[in-house]
C-alpha cells in the first residue's frame, strides 16, 4: 500500500487492506478465498474509476504532487536500456535537479532530459525537490545540443513546482538561462517530445517544454503559477487555492481541450503512483509512436512545426450566433 495516501484515496486503501488480509489468510491457512478476493478486486477497480474519473482540479494538483508518484529517474529506469547519465554545465557545477543522458527507447537512441524531484527525503534535498538552478537549465541545453550533433531525438520529462527562486540562482542568471533554453530549443534540428509527468509549474517547467509534441500524463498539471500562489496574489490568502485551481485550467483535460497539449497519456487505475511499471509502459508506447512519426520529418520541417506550434498558442476565433 501507499504510505502517503490522499484523503480521497481512503476507500481504495481500505479495500486494498482487505484484499491483502484475505490473501495472507489464504496463504497461511490454506483456505480457498479466490472468489471473495476477486469480488473485492472488482470493487476496487470500480471505486478507483469512480474516484479518479471525477477529480476536481485541486485534487488533480494533489495527485500530481504525490510523494509516491514516479519521478523522472523512475521512468528512465523503467523505459530505457543502456542509459548513460551525463553531468555538468561546463560553467559552475552539476545540478542534480536535472537528469540528462543517452539511452535507448525500444532500441532507438534518445537523449533523456528530466527534472528530478528525488525519491527519498535525502535525495529530495540533494535534488532541491526538482527546482533547478541556472546550471540545471544550461546543463539540459548543453546535452540537447550534443544530441543534435549525433542526430538523436530528445525526450524531456517535466516535473517541477518551478525554477529555484533563491538569491544565488538569480545571481547566476536564472531568467537568462531559462529564456535561452526557450529560444535555443526552437532551433534544435532533431525531434523533441516534452512530457509533463507530474507538476509542471511556471517558467521552471517551460525551460524544457519546447517540443514538437507536448504530452501530459493523465493526472499531471501544467500552469503558469501554483494554485496557492495564484490565490495569494488575487485574494491575499492561500485559502482559495481550490477556486484558483479551477480558474487556472491546469489539468491535462483542460489543456488538451484548449489545444495546448497534443496528447494525454492515460495512467493505470487508480493512478501512476499505484502502478509505476504500468505508467511507464503506457508512456513508453506513446513516446515510441510519436518518435516514429517525427523521424520522417526533415530538420527544417521540424523547426517550422515547433515554432508554429508555440506561435499559435493564444490565438482564437469567434463565431457569431
Question: Per-residue pLDDT tens for 197-224?
Answer: 999 999 999 999 999 999 999 999 999 9
CA separation for the pair 134, 171 (Å, rounded): 9
Please identify, in words, the CATH class of the domain defined by 61-310. alpha beta
pTM, full prediction = 0.93
Q: Which helix (H) or strand (E) holds 108?
A: strand 108-115
Element (H, E) at 123: helix 121-126
Each domain of the chain, given as residue ranges in start order, spans 7-54, 61-310
**Could you read off the pLDDT tens digit of each residue along the chain, which spans 321 residues?**
444 678 999 999 999 999 999 988 888 877 888 898 899 999 999 999 999 999 999 999 999 999 999 999 999 999 999 999 999 999 999 999 999 999 999 999 999 999 999 999 999 999 999 999 999 999 999 999 999 999 999 999 999 999 999 999 999 999 999 999 999 999 999 999 999 999 999 999 999 999 999 999 999 999 999 999 999 999 999 899 999 999 999 999 999 999 999 999 999 999 999 999 999 999 999 999 999 999 999 999 999 999 999 998 887 777 776
β-bridge pairing 192-201 and 154-160? parallel
Long-range Cβ contact pairs of 243-249 (< 8 A, separation 24 or more): 245/56, 245/57, 245/58, 245/60, 245/61, 246/56, 246/57, 246/58, 248/57, 248/223, 248/224, 249/57
Q: What is the pLDDT of residues 48-67, one digit of tens each?
A: 999 999 999 999 999 999 99
- DSSP result, 111-169: EEEEE---SSHHHHHHTGGG---HHHHHHHHHHHHHHHHTT--EEEEEEES-S--SHHH
Cα separations (Å) of 295 from 90, 102, 158, 192?
30, 17, 22, 10
Query: Using CA of residue 17, residue 21, residue 26, residue 32, what is the dihedral sign?
Result: negative
CA 216/CA 200 separation, integer angstroms = 9
Amino acid at each position: 500500500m501507499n504510505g502517503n495516501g490522499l484523503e480521497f484515496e481512503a476507500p481504495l486503501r481500505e479495500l486494498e487492506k482487505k484484499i491483502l488480509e484475505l490473501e495472507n489468510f489464504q496463504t497461511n491457512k490454506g483456505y480457498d478465498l479466490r472468489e471473495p478476493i476477486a469480488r473485492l478486486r472488482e470493487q476496487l477497480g470500480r471505486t478507483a474509476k469512480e474516484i479518479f474519473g471525477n477529480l476536481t482540479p485541486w485534487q488533480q494538483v494533489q495527485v500530481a504532487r504525490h510523494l509516491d508518484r514516479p519521478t523522472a529517474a523512475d521512468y528512465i529506469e523503467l523505459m530505457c536500456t543502456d542509459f548513460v547519465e551525463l553531468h555538468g554545465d561546463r560553467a559552475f557545477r552539476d545540478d542534480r535537479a536535472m537528469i540528462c543522458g543517452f539511452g535507448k527507447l525500444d532500441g532507438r537512441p534518445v537523449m533523456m532530459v528530466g527534472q528530478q524531484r528525488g525519491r527519498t527525503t535525502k535525495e529530495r534535498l540533494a535534488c532541491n525537490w526538482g527546482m533547478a538552478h541556472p546550471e540545471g537549465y544550461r546543463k539540459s541545453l548543453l546535452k540537447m545540443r550534443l544530441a543534435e550533433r549525433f542526430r538523436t531525438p530528445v525526450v524531456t520529462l517535466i516535473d517541477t513546482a518551478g525554477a529555484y527562486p533563491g538569491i544565488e540562482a538569480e545571481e547566476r542568471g536564472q531568467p537568462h538561462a531559462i529564456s535561452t533554453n526557450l529560444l535555443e530549443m526552437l532551433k534544435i534540428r532533431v525531434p523533441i517530445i516534452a512530457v509533463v509527468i507530474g507538476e509542471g509549474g511556471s517558467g521552471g517547467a517551460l525551460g524544457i517544454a519546447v517540443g514538437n509534441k507536448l504530452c501530459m500524463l493523465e493526472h499531471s498539471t501544467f500552469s503558469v503559477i501554483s494554485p496557492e500562489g495564484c490565490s495569494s496574489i488575487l485574494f491575499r490568502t492561500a485559502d482559495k487555492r481550490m477556486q484558483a485551481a479551477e480558474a487556472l485550467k491546469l489539468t491535462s483535460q483542460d489543456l488538451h481541450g484548449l489545444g495546448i497539449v497534443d496528447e494525454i497519456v492515460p495512467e493505470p487505475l487508480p493512478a501512476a503512483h499505484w502502478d509505476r511499471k504500468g505508467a511507464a509502459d503506457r508512456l513508453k508506447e506513446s513516446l515510441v509512436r510519436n518518435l516514429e512519426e517525427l523521424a520522417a520529418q526533415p530538420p527544417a520541417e521540424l523547426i517550422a512545426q515547433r515554432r508554429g506550434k508555440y506561435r499559435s498558442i493564444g490565438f482564437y476565433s469567434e463565431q457569431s450566433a
